[in-house]
Amino acid sequence: MSSPLIKVSNLTVSTSDDNRTLVNSVSFEIAPGEAVGVVGESGSGKTLTALSLLGLLPRGVQATAGSISYDGKDLLHTDSETLRSIRGNKIAMIYQDPMTALNPVMRLGAQLIEVIESHEGQSGDATERVLTAFSDVGIPDPKRAYESYPHEFSGGMRQRVMIAMALLLSPELLIADEPTTALDVTIQQQILALVMHERRKRNMSMLWITHDLGVVANLVDRVIVMYAGRIVEVGSVKDVFTNPQHPYTAGLLASLPKASDKNRTRLVSIPGIPPKPWTVGESCAFSARCTRADDQCRTTLPLLRENSSTQAACFHLMGEKR
Amino acid sequence: MKEKTWFSYYLKSISGVIGGILVLVMFTISILSALGITPHDPLIQDPVNALQGPSAQYWFGTDQFGRDILSRCMDGMRRSMLVSVVAVSIATLVGVILGIVGGYFGKFLDGFVVRFSDVIFAFPAILLALAIVNSLGNSWIDTSLAIAVVYTPIFIRVARGPVLSVKEMDYVKAVRILGFSTPKVLFSHILPNVLPPIVIQVALSMSWAILTESGLSFLGLGTQPPDASLGLMVSEAQSLAAFAWWTLAFPSLFITIAVVGLNLVGDGLRDSLDPARRSS
Amino acid sequence: MTLAITDVTKKYKIRTTGAQVNALNGVTIVLPAKQTLGIVGESGCGKSTLARMITGLEQPTAGTVTWNNEEIFDKAKNMLSSKHSKIQLVFQDPYSSLNPRQKIGEALSEVLTVHKLVEKSAIPARIDELLTEVGISPDLAHRYPHQLSGGQRQRVSIARALASQPDLLVLDEPVSALDVSVRAEVMNLLIDLRERLGLTYIFISHDLSMIRHISDQIAVMYLGRIVESGSWDAVLENPRHPYTRALIAAMPDHTMVGNDLYEAPLAGEVPDPAAMPSGCAFHLRCPIAVPSCAVNIQNLREVEESHLIACQEVK
């Protein structure tokens, strides 16, 4: 494998005032051109992990340990000027709500021009590039879009504008934080197809955050499963989805209704709710909900370990006899 | 598990605690005065001791008729508090009911309520109060009514706004579908959820009402001599203050304590009733 | 007992622009007792408006909604009919469906008191029973909603609906706002309750996988109309309307790993309901549309037994 594009090591994110750990010792790499999915429920730390990569953690939350190495720099310990030059340029991000990324009182064309100029200075062909970017993402009338304000567009079209903006400077890595969650399924499919196409065309790396396993199944190469602030399983999407090793991943997959299940049997459910990451201490965070858990799980923290197909943080992997 | 009440959050607010102490002092003074427990009779004149500075006998000194200023301040405080409590109670009751009913039912009823409050808002508050007192009379009840009319639209506004958003909440729809009567929906499900801003408004309006009452008395309306009122005392002290500072200073201090105290209570309530401001 | 929705139309006027929005356009549904009808569609299709009509929160502009041959909305009194508590609604957002200032026990006891369903002395026991029924420990009766998880709140909402002893539950996206690992439990609960209490369900969702799991009959809505309806087998195994086919194809499916090239099944966007396309509202996005689709309004017709579609191009 070639050297990774970005390497996250032992990333830990905590609240500033009472030092509650929200993301705990998360490590992963993304290779050039690789698409990685991060799957987790609310509170699993998936969004904070993604925001750390851009130094965009919200107020009151900070990265307290670890490193994020990119292009010979540690993004956690670099000056804001360097971060700014990388953001939007080398690493771009798209969000669930495009309105948070678009300025409501500025014409769309001007907003995209601004992105180009803030990284490259005055550019004679900026307008041309913006119009091309609009048509690349399937906006029907780029000239009209150029003169429009965000509110004149539907949710799906705004998402396209945000993608055009993110891809404008040909980033090496695109971070996507549930950009299709608020969209209708037929529109979601259009956006997924668009992103897939652009990624292939540009050989761009991608980090896709979602709670919807169905969305990443056909979108990414590798998937990271997070639970209560930690990575519990990593592997190729095929291995994780068809042969999950962590009981949480297995339970989550089993709990989803399947199209192939014509008899509509009872859904397999996981009892209880995910714990707060800072309350679990040195134990397996899933042990309270796990049918395979024993005393070891409740007192010792399982680390990721290699096995037949994936890496999973569990003492009693699904593939092992109990 | 012990449930944390709003009061425990209130006690954490410094302004709330200071304001609470000041308001308690005001109430104590008013009650003492109502029971007749004042150092001297506020109305008894003692020409021999007129315009004496503060002394062991007259702590706050005496006015031009030799009346004890401390006793008169206490009596004035009682009257100001009485007017303020009565006026704000009426304004709250009428304003909140109109605001909730208008906001909930909308349409014609709401249009009427909104126009009504707009009309009252269109007049400067003190002018409107002056006009009403002029036509009603000078008793404390008339003053209270005048202030109540002026403050009613504020409560309409404070109640109506949140009702517009709360009535769209799913829990309100749920109890409507459950067939609860409209008064029950309004008073058990909507009112409790719009109460915090109203409670804060009550504290703030009481302080304004004290100022308004003082203003009316200062202008010769409201409380009439020889009765004591903080505003009237300030008015009478105008010409005396140059050589008898205590005649102006102490009534002014009482007004200040009342207004600042109630404002601080309002701040404290705002911090403790709004979950978003609670630093848990 | 039957739910009969007959030719229901709902128009709204947008106050600022004066534009008219046709939220529902001649919807007819007949649902026998103890059946579950799944209604699926995307935003603007009118599924939530329909939920408000069935529960009597709003009055249809035209048409009738009856349960047991009795109108839900008493037009004479301009209010909900007294028989109304037999139909209850469970909302999507568990964070706004419970009064934040009311303990959950109080919320339930209020329903029992208002409808005088049990003796006063028996209320505490009934509350325990209701909470147990939805899988919540009765000890939690003294908690406020904010002290419960999303899944627990949704269970309390269901318990509150059950407290009035309803026959029909309208479930408006009841699991969409819940965490993935919690959804299965709530779905299982709904299925158990249906069997134990003999309930009739209308299950509304944008998520076809949940509709597929719980429904006996399915109706697919697009811009205020039903475009396809019928039995589970008919609609899911043999979808005929091009929109239903596209919806099924667009459903993200985690069991289909590695089909990596996406092809969006439908181009274009859902039109603005305030500017409805002429003829068949779907014709602008339809892969099989012909020019006459822009003119002809499509009504539901039977293509086989208990299978209706609204499309002229499907034979």
pLDDT 10s digits, B204-222: 898 888 888 888 888 888 7
Q: Does B174 touch chain C (CB under 8 A)?
A: yes
Q: Which residues contact C285 (CB under 8 A, 6 or more apart)?
A: C243, C266, C267, C268, C269
Q: Does A192 touch chain C (CB under 8 A)?
A: yes
CATH class of domain segment(s) A6-220 = alpha beta
Q: Does any domain span residue B269?
A: yes
More confidently predicted of B53 and C236:
C236
User: Can you give C27-46 as a three-state secondary structure string?
Assistant: EEEEEECCCEEEEECCCCCC
Q: Which of B241, B261, B221, B200 is nearest to B77 (CA)?
A: B261
Q: Does any domain span residue B28?
A: no
Q: Does C264 touch chain A (CB under 8 A)?
A: yes
Q: Do B176 and C82 touch (CB under 8 A)?
A: no
Helix-helix angle B191-218:B69-105, to 10 degrees = 140
Q: Do A184 and C188 touch (CB under 8 A)?
A: no
Q: Which of A218, A236, A253 to probe by mutation at the C interface, max C CB count within 10 Å?
A: A218
**Spatial distance between the Cα atoms of C248 and C207, rounded to a whole number of angstroms:** 10
Domain with B96 in it: 71-277
pLDDT of residue B1: 38
**Spatial distance between the Cα atoms of C296 and C292, rounded to a whole number of angstroms:** 6
State the DSSP H helix or E strand holding residue B120, giving kind and residue range, or none if neither: helix B107-122
Task: Count how many domains chain B has.
Answer: 1
Q: What share of chain B is helix, strand, coil (3-state, %, to 5)?
A: 75, 0, 25
Q: Which residues contact A79 (CB under 8 A, 6 or more apart)?
A: none
pLDDT of residue C11: 92
Q: Does C110 touch chain B (CB under 8 A)?
A: yes
Q: Which of C56, C96, C102 sits opposite B170 (nearest CB)?
A: C96
Q: Tell me the per-residue pLDDT of A185-204, one tens digit each, with 9 for 90 and over.
A: 888 989 999 999 999 999 99
Chain A residues 251-270 with CB within 8 Å of chain C: 251-253, 255-260, 264, 266-270
How many contacts (CB atoms, under 8 Å) link B and C?
61
Q: Does C275 touch chain A (CB under 8 A)?
A: no
C39 strand-pairing partners: C204, C219
Of A255-264, A280-289, B161-170, C160-169, the range with the lowest mean pLDDT is: A255-264
Residue B231: pLDDT above 50? yes
Rg (CA), chain A: 21
Q: Does any domain span residue B21?
A: no
pLDDT of residue C116: 84
> Which residue intervals of chain C bear CATH 3.40.50.300?
2-86+166-309
Q: Which chain C residues are Cβ-neighbours of B177 within 8 angstroms?
A: 55-57, 80, 84-85, 87-89
Helix boundaries (H) for A54-124: 80-86, 108-120
Cis peptide before B226 (omega within 30 of 0): yes
Q: Which of C15, C90, C96 to probe by mutation at the B interface, max B CB count within 10 Å?
A: C96
Q: What is the pLDDT along chain C (315 residues), one digit of tens a residue?
A: 889 999 999 998 887 777 888 899 999 999 999 999 999 998 889 999 999 999 988 889 999 998 888 888 766 555 565 556 789 999 999 889 999 888 999 999 999 998 888 899 999 999 999 999 999 999 999 999 988 999 999 999 999 999 999 999 999 999 999 988 899 999 999 999 999 999 999 999 999 999 999 999 999 999 999 999 999 999 999 999 999 999 998 888 888 776 655 677 788 888 888 888 899 999 999 999 999 999 999 999 999 988 999 999 987
Q: Which of B165, B177, B181 to probe by mutation at the C interface, max C CB count within 10 Å?
A: B177
Q: Does any domain span residue B49?
A: no
Residue percentage of chain A with pLDDT more than 70: 99
Q: Which chain A residue shows the shortest CA-CA distance from C190?
A: A266
Q: pTM surpassing 0.90?
A: no
Q: What share of chain A is helix, strand, coil (3-state, %, to 5)?
A: 35, 20, 45
Q: Which chain B residues are Cβ-neighbours of C56 within 8 angstroms?
A: 177
Q: Which chain C residues are Cβ-neighbours of A268 within 8 angstroms?
A: 184
Q: Do A267 and C213 touch (CB under 8 A)?
A: yes
Q: Which chain B residues are Cβ-neighbours of C115 within 8 angstroms?
A: 178-179
Q: Which of C156, C48, C21, C30 is nearest to C98 (CA)?
A: C156
Distance from CA of C208 to the nearest CA of B (A): 24
pLDDT of residue C75: 64
Q: Which of C262, C263, C284 to probe by mutation at the A interface, max A CB count within 10 Å?
A: C262
Q: Do B179 and C82 touch (CB under 8 A)?
A: yes
> Which residue intervals of chain A bear CATH 3.40.50.300?
6-220
Q: Do C97 and B170 touch (CB under 8 A)?
A: yes
Q: Which chain C residues are Cβ-neighbours of B184 within 8 angstroms?
A: 114
Q: Which of C42, C208, C262 sits opposite A192 (nearest CB)?
A: C262
Q: Which of A156, A168, A170, A154 is nearest to A109 (CA)?
A: A168
Residue A219: pLDDT above 60? yes
Q: Which chain C residues are Cβ-neighbours of A242 within 8 angstroms?
A: 257
Chain C residues 186-205 with CB within 8 Å of chain A: 187-188, 191
State the pairing for strand pair C200-205/A173-177.
Answer: unpaired
Q: Which chain C residue shows the shortest CA-CA distance from B195?
A: C101
Q: Tell me the per-residue pLDDT of A109-135, one tens digit each, with 9 for 90 and over.
A: 999 999 999 888 887 889 999 999 999
The model's confidence at residue B2, banded by pLDDT at 50, 70 and 90, is very low
Q: Does any domain span residue B2?
A: no
Which CATH number is B233's domain given?
1.10.3720.10
Rg (CA), chain C: 21
Q: Does B176 touch chain C (CB under 8 A)?
A: yes
Residue B279: pLDDT above 50? no
Q: Which chain C residue shows the shortest CA-CA distance from B180?
A: C114
Residue B257: pLDDT above 60? yes
Q: Do B177 and C96 touch (CB under 8 A)?
A: no
pLDDT of residue B238: 83
In CATH, what number does C2-86+166-309 get?
Answer: 3.40.50.300
Q: Which of A34, A41, A186 to probe by mutation at the C interface, max C CB count within 10 Å?
A: A186
**C183: three-class secondary structure by DSSP:** helix
Chain C residues 45-64 with CB within 8 Å of chain B: 55-57
Distance from CA of C92 to the nearest CA of A (A): 14
Q: Which chain C residues are Cβ-neighbours of B173 within 8 angstroms?
A: 57, 89, 91
